[in-house]
Structure 1
Amino acid sequence: MKFERKTFESARHRTAYLEAGPADGPLMIFVHGWPEAPFVWIRQIEHFAAQGWRCIAPWMRGYGASSVPGEVAAYANRETVGDLVELHGRLGGAPAVWIGHDWGSPVVWALAGHHPERCRGVASASIPYLARGFALPALVPLLDREIYPVEDFPVGQWDYWLAFREHFNPVVRAMEESPEGILRLVFQPSQPLAETRGPAFSANARQRGGLFGGIDLAHVPGGNLLLEAEYVEEMARDLAANGFSGPIAWYLNDDANMDYARQAVDFGRLSMPVLFLHGARDDVCETVRSRLAEPMREDCSDLTEVVIDAGHQLALEDPGAVNQAIAYWLAGMPA
């Protein structure tokens, strides 16, 4: 499959993006998360472009050749949704299927809440919909306190979020020392979850001095990764050039993101077709046995859920199952 690299620039932002498939095909837009790039959707883009979809995958702000603003507030959902709205208009503005992963999911969820007319359907891998906004005040009440006692784990598996907030500069410096080592960790195949569940690795991030504290990032094995080495190397070069300040700033806008969520159409209730893909082996974003996905079921009137036997990078770890789930969901949509 041939991928074209393109750039769209407005008065407020520059978006680099991948495009594949026929120019007159229906729009399918894939949004990556942290600390990623459009390549995390490469298997889906190949599949659906071959089926006649016009597949678009942008580098979000802070990544690749897209804009890298210096202000923390520039990474709030209002701004990232604005980027997608501008890109969507440039692509013709016909209602699109939007698919997000990790931090890309809160962006497509917010776009659906504020611009439902732009959405033929919305899908998410790993991060369920939270009408209050994807922010710590909305996540903490959903914690499993049997696994995360409040006295030991006040914010549960989201402790790394506080590490980013409380130790921003040291964490940025530590991550910038070895972008490729971090990506090798991110794209490791998942392991089956233990029968007896315990706290996630991320739950004591502050105690370790950061999400990857205590790990020798320079010597993380590079074999058997979920993503080809050429893509990992390109992502590492981009992160080395841009730095980690932008990507980590995505975590520092809780108040702004919750305020933006309160302004959504119909109090944030989504009426378009919605697909959520659970990663059965996802430890941090554990949605199968926890309460994390419960609010989504109240706020989406046309919801389909599918459990994939994979970890957080489910679109790469089991692309066949993910493609099948998306295709089945699309087939059931109104014409």
Structure 2
Amino acid sequence: MSTITHHEVTYADGVKKIHYLATGPEDGPLIFFIHGWPATAITWKRQLDAFASVGFRAIAPDMPGYGQSTARRIADDYCQESIVEGLMALLGDTGRDAAIWVGHDWGSGVVSSVAIQHPETVTALVNICVPYNTIELGWDGFLPLVDRDIYPEDKYPYGQWDYQKAYEEDFEGTIKWFDQDVAGLCSLFSQKPGPRPDPKAAAEAMATVRKVGWLGGLPKPPSAAQLGPPILPPEIFDSFSADMQKTGFWTGSAYYLHHRRNAEYNGPRNHKFTNPALFVHTKWDVTCETKESRLMEPMRENCSNLTEVTIDAAHFVMFEKPAELNAALFRFIVDAVPGQWPGYSDSEYEKTK
């Protein structure tokens, strides 16, 4: 197994830094794993190990606001323009011009912004749970796609995205609630899924946050002691939880404060992407529901070389089904961008029968 090494790159005139994990041969094809909310670089460890083992140079950063990267309580640090500046510095630190970019949750919004702003740096694009041309375009990128059969506009004007409006209306109150038990929330997001929820009931909880409160109005997050053991291996979970306890939720949650600014930065819809793209649907993600709703439409309309795969998992698919996710990524690369598979173009491989 390849050794994972720690690195950091400074940018913004040396004011900010991004810490990142790297593994695999330095001359291997480059792939980035970009986490979302809440996660850190180490939560991609099973992807880093798998990709390094077949010859990729695999890299996962602590995104700005997380882990060992700069985590200032300055909201401007977490708009997409600022985040993309950091990732371009990260790419430059590798000495490469382009990579395969894999993003999950807000990481999907970030890799989508990279594809819009710097398409020449994206050999292939992989979005997990959140499609291209949605969240990175601000409210107009995803609110019109709400399934109004489930969320009538007169009752749920923001649909399942009500919780995002809660950030805008009472950010400090939200963070105060989260930070009552950071370790407990980390454990909650890392639980082995139980019986699959009724989609409408689960969706209702996210659509009423401003009215009822978080997690159905609990006075505080559940503690780790109230929950079962995390599905993540202990060494990964302990590192993730320690990092989140160090930063708290303010900085990572500030990504939600810039819908208007992100829309100005990335412009209107219909950004065409012609290189290979993969979307990973997760069957039981009731908030980022992409199988029955219209949320997937913009990616289908604007990615001309698109592959889709569905994994029987909930939102945190890399926690729950790492082998299945790795297999889907491997197959996509071999099928759609074979020149990025280590040794593919150099091997004397032929089918004789």
What TM-score does the superposition give when structure 2 sets the normalisation length?
A: 0.89
Inter-partner Cα distance in structure 2 for 1:34 and 1:93: 27
How far 1:217 sits from its partner (Å)? Answer: 2.1
Matches within 5 A, 1:93-242: 93-130=96-133, 133-191=136-194, 193=196, 197-198=200-201, 200=203, 201-210=205-214, 213-214=217-218, 216-219=221-224, 221-242=226-247
Inter-partner Cα distance in structure 1 for 2:9 and 2:199: 49
Match of 1:279 in 2: 282
Match of 2:94 in 1: 91
Deviations 1:42-76 (A, max 9, x none): 22111110000000000011111101132212201
Q: Which amino acid aligns with 1:18?
A: L
Match of 2:344 in 1: none
Contact residue 84 and residue 113 of structure 2 kept, 8 A: yes
Inter-partner Cα distance in structure 2 for 1:283 and 1:211: 14
Matched residues, percent identical? 36
Match of 1:259 in 2: 264
Contact residue 132 and residue 262 of structure 1 kept, 8 A: no
1:6 equivalent in alignment to 2:7: yes
Match of 1:23 in 2: 26
The farther-off stretch of 133-142 and 292-301 is 133-142
Inter-partner Cα distance in structure 1 for 2:240 and 2:134: 31
Match of 2:77 in 1: 74
Structure-2 change in CA distance of 1:212 and 1:180 (3 Å) = farther
* The one of 241, 248, 252 aligned to 1:247: 252
How far 1:326 sits from its partner (Å)? Answer: 0.8
Inter-partner Cα distance in structure 2 for 1:52 and 1:241: 33
How far 1:317 sits from its partner (Å)? Answer: 1.2
Bigger Rg, structure 1 or 2: 2
Question: Structure 1: which 5+ residue stretches go unaligned?
Answer: none
The farther-off stretch of 214-223 and 84-93 is 214-223
Contact residue 31 and residue 104 of structure 1 kept, 8 A: yes
How far 1:136 sits from its partner (Å)? Answer: 2.4
Contact residue 103 and residue 127 of structure 2 kept, 8 A: yes
Structure-2 change in CA distance of 1:192 and 1:138 (3 Å) = farther
Inter-partner Cα distance in structure 1 for 2:195 and 2:147: 19
How far 1:189 sits from its partner (Å)? Answer: 2.6
- Secondary structure of the residue that 2:19 maps to in structure 1? strand
- Secondary structure of the residue that 2:214 maps to in structure 1? coil
Structure-2 change in CA distance of 1:94 and 1:196 (3 Å) = closer
How far 1:225 sits from its partner (Å)? Answer: 2.0
Inter-partner Cα distance in structure 2 for 1:230 and 1:159: 34
Question: Structure 2: which 5+ residue stretches go unaligned?
Answer: 340-353
Contact residue 177 and residue 221 of structure 2 kept, 8 A: no
How far 1:17 sits from its partner (Å)? Answer: 0.7
Structure-2 change in CA distance of 1:110 and 1:189 (3 Å) = same
Structure-2 change in CA distance of 1:132 and 1:281 (3 Å) = closer
Structure-2 change in CA distance of 1:328 and 1:106 (3 Å) = same
The farther-off stretch of 221-230 and 34-43 is 221-230
Structure-2 change in CA distance of 1:141 and 1:220 (3 Å) = farther
The farther-off stretch of 240-249 and 174-183 is 240-249
Inter-partner Cα distance in structure 2 for 1:318 and 1:330: 19
- Secondary structure of the residue that 1:163 maps to in structure 2? helix
Q: Which amino acid aligns with 2:185?
A: I
Q: Which amino acid aligns with 2:328?
A: A
Inter-partner Cα distance in structure 2 for 1:183 and 1:193: 20
Inter-partner Cα distance in structure 2 for 1:113 and 1:316: 28
Inter-partner Cα distance in structure 2 for 1:182 and 1:241: 14
How far 1:115 sits from its partner (Å)? Answer: 0.8
Q: Which amino acid aligns with 1:205?
A: V
Q: Which amino acid aligns with 1:223?
A: G
How far 1:23 sits from its partner (Å)? Answer: 1.1
1:269 equivalent in alignment to 2:278: no
Match of 1:46 in 2: 49
